[in-house]
A = this chain, B = another copy of it.
Amino acid sequence: MASKENKEGISKFTNKVSIKSFQQKRKTTINADDLVKSVLNKSISALSRAITLIESNNPAHQEKANKIIKNCLPHANKSIRIGITGVPGVGKSTFIETLGNHLILQGKKVAVLAVDPSSTVTKGSILGDKTRMENLAKNPKAFIRPSASGNTLGGVAKKTRETIILCEAAGFDVIIIETVGVGQSETTVASMVDFFLLLKLAGAGDELQGIKRGIIEMADTIAINKADGNNIKQAKLAKVEFNRALHYLPRKASQWQPQVLTCSALQNEGIVEIWEAILNYFEITKANQYFSHKRQEQDKYWLMQTIENQLKANFFNSPKIQTALKEQLTLMAQNRTTAFAAANYILNLD
């Protein structure tokens, strides 16, 4: 039964036509309370349905979604949340599949979500490809969800954060949030997970030059993937370089010393060691209270971010303000007004 439900949950989102017919069929019959009960009873199809409501822009759906989240909240927050990032080609899918299967063998339930900044442009999705994580996707203890779409990264983040809550209420112990190393998406993911893993390749030429230190700084562990065959020597060199890079960073508030490890997800080598490092991180940060502190800080961050973004959007959406902004920018470029005088002028229009 669980297996059938799971298959339904997966296939539904890989086929747009079936999503639509599914949504239409259920639209009038979904009851928020029943859905919450089913989610808490670990029904994968109920979980999928609830997430679809979260992702809907229909106000009636949103109202229902808010009720569901509110009732799932007391049952959430019990998982560990792991962010995984890396450039395309680093082997994220294979890594998550290998790690996910390892965790399931240990009795865990694993949900994989994605934050995909490119999906708003290309309408594609880093998890939309059916052939990815095929093994893991078939497992009833796994739940794989394509990335939420939205017009803004903030909107995608909101949906992802609420999806985490539902997955936790449905009994998933490990939530993996995947993102590609593009733009601000890593920062967004880092601000919603407990542990952040950066996947790298050896010999990609970016160990020294062009390292995006912002990302290195966020990483709780760096895993150099594809450390197999002829790559092993290069992977070891890269490990030295990244360890050196880490020394340039200040000590983390978590008191955790970030690790550099090598692995081959394809050959299932080094994955156990990475998982042990992750467990070690949680042991340390739960003992020193950093774990709960970080979650509270993340909540505050998202609260303030949401308010600030909405205040800005409300202000700058006005055509009058937009026109004035353009005018003032021109005057500034002509050295006829200062930034502060221009700001005052614009603010007084509101």
Residues of A within 8 A of B (CB): 66, 69-70, 73-74, 76-77, 158, 161-162, 165, 208-213, 217, 245, 247-251, 296, 299-303, 306-308, 310-312, 315, 328-329, 332-333, 335-344, 346-347
> Across the interface, do B343 and A208 meet the contact criterion of CB distance under 8 Å?
no
Interface residue SS majority, chain A? helix
List, in ascending order, chain B residues with CB within 8 A of A74's CB: 335-336
Give the distance in Å from the alpha carbon of A343 to the alpha carbon of B208 in the complex: 42
Interface centre among A245, A336, A340, A342 (most CB of B within 10 A): A340
One of B161, B165, B341 near A70 (C-beta < 8 A): B341
> Across the interface, do A306 and B248 meet the contact criterion of CB distance under 8 Å?
no
> Across the interface, do A306 and B339 meet the contact criterion of CB distance under 8 Å?
yes
Q: What are 21 contact pairs spanning A and B, CB under 8 A?
A: A70-B336, A70-B341, A73-B336, A73-B338, A162-B340, A208-B247, A209-B250, A213-B250, A299-B339, A302-B339, A302-B340, A303-B329, A303-B332, A303-B343, A306-B339, A306-B340, A306-B343, A306-B344, A307-B346, A308-B308, A310-B347
List, in ascending order, chain B residues with CB within 8 A of A344's CB: 306
A329 to chain B, nearest CB (A): 7
Interface centre among A70, A249, A307, A347 (most CB of B within 10 A): A307
